[in-house]
Amino acid sequence: NRIDKGHAFLNILFYISTRAFALVVMGFFHVNSENYNEAVVVLPKPVWMITITVSFFLIWLDYGPLMTKVKKYNLIASGVILLIAMAIIYKGGSVEESTGMKPYWWGILGIIGWAYFVCALIFLTTKGRFYLLLVAYAAAIFINVSDHTGLLKLNLPLIGDASSISLMLGGTVLSVLYGKLVSNNKVRFLWAVFIGIGVMMILAGLIIRPYAEGISKIRATPAWVFICTGISILFFTATIWLIDVKGKQNWFSLIRPAGTSTLTCYLVPYFLYSVYTLLHFRYPPFLNYGMGGLIRSFVIAFLVILLTGFLEKKRLRLKV
């Protein structure tokens, strides 16, 4: 949209960088929370978690046009000061050898942030040209496959094994292809093309599985990337049919906040489970395992989405 509106390259680059920075910062704090040592820190871990999450809201809240700039910037400054204070008091590691904050890894949000930065930069420099994006996607897939088959160990800065970039660029290529088919009145080809690509990606994942460290999310193997991409394409195709063709938007109204306020929805559980810990709340054992655990997870997921929807109506949603 910003390219189409004629925004300057540096202006868009700054916008991309600030969004990526926000995600990386949040991911960085979440990763360090895993090594938080309550034995050498003044604040209990749940209080520290609630405080950093409040800081995220203060800094990246969608304040809206009605709030005065003075009040907005004071709230943002308060969030920044609070976050810095939490970083200063933080101690990880053991009692004998405690450490400050450091990037053990970047966390889910951090991985998304770095992948977004790379993919958005590729989109910006290619101006969204389909065939150039396709070349970039092929390069990302090549890096991922090479890394896990031992063909090459590139380990490029910001890119790593390119697993997250492959997933994100796959979505980018598919979205651009969708736009091209619709704008050229070739929607009749869409179903065969998308379903065919989705099935082929799943088959490619199953075929490469024995030769590239199996199917593993933790190791971000090519089989996992291919299969997840294939499933996503098939689901995306079904969603197009339901919403754009059949007009069934209302089917998704209950879970809509998970899409319109995704980052808020992601952060709500950090409040929820920190409060659980402070109150020493425990689920009954039958809700921790097997079918009971699945039912609990399903119910809690919907409650989180409903809470996110409530916050959204009160204009309490993050925007980066």
Of 216, 247, 278, which residue sits at a domain end? 247
Which letter does DSSP use for residue 99 in this model?
A: E
Instruction: Give the whole-angstrom CA distance, residue 27 versus residue 308.
Output: 20
Query: Is there a single domain that holds both residue 133 and residue 168?
Result: yes
Element housing 317 (H / E): none
Last residue of a domain, one of 247, 268, 300: 247
Helices (H), 184-261: 187-208, 222-240, 257-260
Which of 251, 239, 126 lies closest to 190 in space, CA to CA? 239
* 2 falls within a domain: no
Domain end position, chosen among 225, 247, 269: 247
The separation between CA 40 and the C-alpha centre of its own chain, rounded to angstroms, equals 32
Per-residue pLDDT of the chain (320 residues; tens, 9 = 90+): 898 899 999 999 999 999 999 999 999 999 999 999 998 998 999 999 999 999 999 999 999 888 999 999 999 999 999 999 999 999 998 888 889 999 888 999 999 999 999 999 999 999 999 999 999 999 999 999 999 999 888 878 889 999 999 999 999 999 999 999 999 888 888 999 999 999 999 999 999 999 999 999 999 999 999 999 999 999 999 999 999 889 999 999 999 999 999 999 999 999 999 999 999 999 999 999 999 999 999 999 999 999 999 999 999 999 99
Concatenating the DSSP letter of every residue in 3-51 gives: TTTT--HHHHHHHHHHHHHHHHHHHHHHHHHTTB-GGG-SS-HHHHHHH
Does 236 lie in the same domain as 203? yes
**Same domain, residue pair 135 and 227:** yes
Instruction: Examine residue 177 and state whether it is found in any structural domain, yes or no.
Output: yes
Whether residues 223 and 284 share a domain: the answer is no
Claim to verify: residue 152 and residue 211 sit in the same structural domain: yes
- Please give the tally of structural domains in the chain: 2
Token pair 């308060």 is at which residue? 78
Is 19 within the bounds of a domain? Answer: no
pLDDT at 23: 97
Residues 263 and 305 in one domain: yes
Contact 256, 195 (CB under 8 A): no
Rounded distance between C-alpha atoms, residue 50 and residue 86, angstroms: 11
**93: three-class secondary structure by DSSP:** strand
Q: Are residues 223 and 298 in the same domain?
A: no
User: What is the domain range of residue 133?
Assistant: 128-247
Indicate if 237 and 302 belong to the same structural domain. Answer: no
Q: Are 152 and 232 within one domain? A: yes
Do both 229 and 152 map to the same domain? yes
Residue 42 lies in a domain: no
For residue 26, give the nearest of 320, 259, 300 by alpha carbon: 320
Please check whether residues 264 and 242 belong to one and the same domain.
Answer: no
Structure tokens at 126: 């290619």
Q: What pLDDT sits at residue 93?
A: 86
- In terms of domains, do 266 and 235 share one? no
36 belongs to a structural domain: no
Nearest-angstrom CA–CA distance, 107 and 26: 8
Helices (H) and strands (E) in the chain, counts: 11, 2
